[in-house]
Structure 1
């Protein structure tokens, strides 16, 4: 199992993951952003292989993906980027996000799993994985020793939740609400996910991360109250980089200021450490 959010758990702090598209900002600048995230103690970078017209992304992330695609960044360029930056990282983990239809469909699962693992990425999250491809995908990642990030919604059918929990060897991404990224949260905020997060503890020993609608220090505090291990921040950070681009500000400094303002709240209850579990092995 990948070592996601462990350092945060040892301090009973909420872990922090951030989302960026590979190629926005351009890869040389992105490398400086990655180094800054590592130095500043961010736990995980969800690095997306850019793809167009995502049905789950709002306009901010869509514009970012379009800029990255215009830079000529695809799967090969993203994997080469990960391979280049990974050796220098002391703490930051990289979870690669790839769209199955746009980036993976034409490649056998064993081939793309091995390529992602060889790049040094710490896990793979696949967007839009069709049911017919899931068994081969899960097996390929197991064979490659590549941890998997899976997703579910609080309103997902029980069988979907159970499947996501069963295959989450990196972390389990709880998408807080239906809709597109960049919108607000439901009434009650992310703290209202506590019963669902608690139920997931009986299904997986992997970390649980909550995303969608997480953009401020107050949102992180609400995620902490849900009992999750980490928060995932996407559109708000991408927007900060977009503003820096428009105003001519330094993107690395702009993103540093954004992530610093998020803070790191304490978790509502202590989390398992060093491989401990909240429940006995089945």
Structure 2
């Protein structure tokens, strides 16, 4: 299986958390990442901030605006990762970059090579035009950058199959349509059936020798340990927690408290094994 979430025992779901680079400011974010590494959180989805995402609710939109106000863009994020990643022992980082705000205007191979040079563990390109998908996957393969692919529970079968075929880091299954920040509103039976079908496709790829099996992470509305346990019981390898954690960062910044300790407390509510070593 892909290195993402592979170190978890089978009875423990993997955990990914989302943050915008620059919220909290990069020096504090470095401390947050070291804390997540100490806590053996599996994955940080780290976004190069971009404004007015159509899939994000107000919490993540405010976070992106704060990060952009800090002057954080692609150059700053890649330089930051080049310094922080070599010090991590467990935490893997998947970089999320928006096509329209961050990538467009660059050549796809050039962008992917810069990402590879940062040492990042995976890449998700948000809003990538379908006509460029093959070029991006080929550039990632040549640069050795594992790709995160996405689909929705309600996506057409062909879209789900294409996502399962192209994922080399992990497959991110979005539980339901809408904007981030709500609850876990997916239909349990539909979600379980989707996970089973995606698992069959990824297992088939591995059996055919085209790639190793990739884990499936489910996100959108995941807010609690109970949500994570539910998803694991339905067949997910991991859960992705976004708005609920970003809200804790926002609270710390607003109240002037320690963002690292605030986020550590939040992570511990999600996973009993996420305690500092």
Secondary structure at the counterpart of residue 95 of structure 2: strand
Q: 1:174-232: per-residue Cα shift (whole Å, max 9, x none)?
A: 000001001122265x5751111011111112100000000111111111111110000
Aligned to 2:199: 201
Distance 2:184 2:13 in 1: 19
Secondary structure at the counterpart of residue 125 of structure 2: strand
Q: 1:20-39: per-residue Cα shift (whole Å, max 9, x none)?
A: 00000000000000000000
Tell whether the 8 Å contact from 1:97 to 1:127 is kept in structure 2 after alignment.
yes
Aligned to 1:151: 150
Q: 1:38-83: per-residue Cα shift (whole Å, max 9, x none)?
A: 0001000000000000000000000000000000000111111111
Secondary structure at the counterpart of residue 96 of structure 1: strand
Distance 1:187 1:109 in 2: 34
TM-score normalised by L of structure 1: 0.90
- Please state how far the C-alpha of 1:235 moved relative to its aligned partner: 0.3
Distance 2:167 2:19 in 1: 21
Tell whether the 8 Å contact from 2:176 to 2:186 is kept in structure 1 after alignment.
no
Gaps of 5+ in 1: 266-282
Tell whether the 8 Å contact from 2:184 to 2:227 is kept in structure 1 after alignment.
no
Pairwise CA RMSD of aligned residues?
1.4
Instruction: Tell which deviates more after alignment, 191-200 or 51-60.
Output: 191-200
> Moved runs in structure 1, 4+ residues, more than 6 A?
none
Distance 2:166 2:224 in 1: 30
Aligned residues, how many? 263
Aligned to 1:106: 105
Secondary structure at the counterpart of residue 154 of structure 2: coil
Secondary structure at the counterpart of residue 142 of structure 1: helix
Distance 2:245 2:229 in 1: 17
Tell whether the 8 Å contact from 1:27 to 1:81 is kept in structure 2 after alignment.
yes
TM-score normalised by L of structure 2: 0.92
Tell whether the 8 Å contact from 2:222 to 2:242 is kept in structure 1 after alignment.
yes
Aligned to 2:21: 22
Secondary structure at the counterpart of residue 126 of structure 1: strand
Distance 1:31 1:201 in 2: 34
- Please state how far the C-alpha of 1:2 moved relative to its aligned partner: 4.3
Gaps of 5+ in 2: 203-212
- Please state how far the C-alpha of 1:131 moved relative to its aligned partner: 1.1
Aligned to 1:276: none
Distance 1:261 1:109 in 2: 39
- Please state how far the C-alpha of 1:264 moved relative to its aligned partner: 5.3
